[in-house]
Amino acid sequence: MSSSIKQSVTNILASADITINGSRPWDIQIHNDKLYRRVLLKGSLGVGEAYMDGWWDAEKLDDFYFHILNSRLDEKFDGYFTRVWSLISNRLINRQSRRRSYAVGEKHYDLGNDLFAAMLDKRLTYTCGYWPDARNLDEAQEAKMDLACRKLNLQPGQRILDIGCGWGSFMKYAAEKYGVEAVGLTISKEQIALGQTLCAGLPIEFRLEDYRAVRGEFDHVISIGMFEQVGYKNCRTFMKVARRSLKTNGLFLLHTIGWPLSGKTNEPWLDKYIFPNFHLPSLAQISRAAEKIFIVEDIHNFGADYDKTLLTWYQNFNQSWPNLKAHYDDRFYRLWKHYLLLCAALFRSRHTQLWQIVFSPQGVPGGYTSVR
């Protein structure tokens, strides 16, 4: 290994107050000197893969990444060739086509219901909680779901469409607390299998279906944590589907993670190992997709709450690992830990945002009253 490469990486990390083999919780402990070249050649993909391989550690992985992101070092460890390939492939093909849309279900959501049951709240809600008045994860997730119900002004007997329904947590909550009927779309067989059991006896229907195939008209439409898999080439198609599914006087609530800048590439490690073909939209991309289809009534950013949600998920996962490791190996443990704590740092540094956006087809008569 060239000493100049090692010195270059050392200097860059020092600018973020990170010391190689230092004693602070966010300092990096390097176990393999091949890491330096791997990072310079492959950027964040190389960093993540090297962590999975045990080449480095940090006592507080989320704090390590927070220092990296807060100092904008991610822009220096760009991984030129990885970024170029991502840009080219996104331009040449539709990575979120109907044929490809089930890939994330098979690779991520079908990993095993035991994993998600151990990590998530009692309702299996795999999206950001709402923490202003919550004392624990269960309360934070119910507060988020109730917030969404009130933003839609749900009324008994209404029929809603949930695009990307997961295990049905929102539909179950809305049916129990607000007396609605619901149809949920997911691309995960495992989610449907468990979701149907959890929602038994309620007026809830699960469909293993790509959103582009849905038919029918609903009083309201909601999508919580699914838009990240739509892709920039399909954002307008998604909006058209939501509109054709919605009654003229209905509301559409979109809950999505997003970047502050418009882009077409993905974070390469998360794309390869966690969410195949994902794309985080910007507000500009969302707004352009909705032009002449919807009126934007309300935008609510509570992305900072995702940091606490992810840390709680990690604590649950880590505590449950003795029971989970019979089905998952040690490399998976490092992969999953890296995923949860990297994402916590992304939200803590405000690199990524979480928006709830309320749309109406023609504008709410007299104006929409924001709900918080």
Amino acid at 345: A
Helix segments in 199-329, DSSP class H: 235-244, 268-273, 283-290, 304-324
Q: What is the largest CA-CA distance in the chain?
A: 70
Q: Is 207 helix (H, G, I), strand (E, B) or coil?
A: strand
DSSP secondary structure letters along 152-169: HT--TT-EEEEET-TTSH
Q: Which residues are catalytic?
A: 343
Alpha-carbon distance 194 to 67, whole Å? Answer: 39
Alpha-carbon distance 186 to 87, whole Å? Answer: 28
Helix segments in the chain, DSSP class H: 3-14, 35-52, 61-70, 80-92, 103-104, 113-119, 137-152, 169-178, 189-198, 235-244, 268-273, 283-290, 304-324, 330-348
DSSP class of 132: T
With CA atoms as reference, report the closest residue to 341 among 117, 87, 65, 132: 65
Tokens 């077409």 belong to which residue?
264
Q: Is 180 helix (H, G, I), strand (E, B) or coil?
A: coil
Strand partners for 258: 353
Sign of CA dihedral 212, 103, 186, 344: negative
Strand partners for 246: 218
Alpha-carbon distance 207 to 221, whole Å? Answer: 15
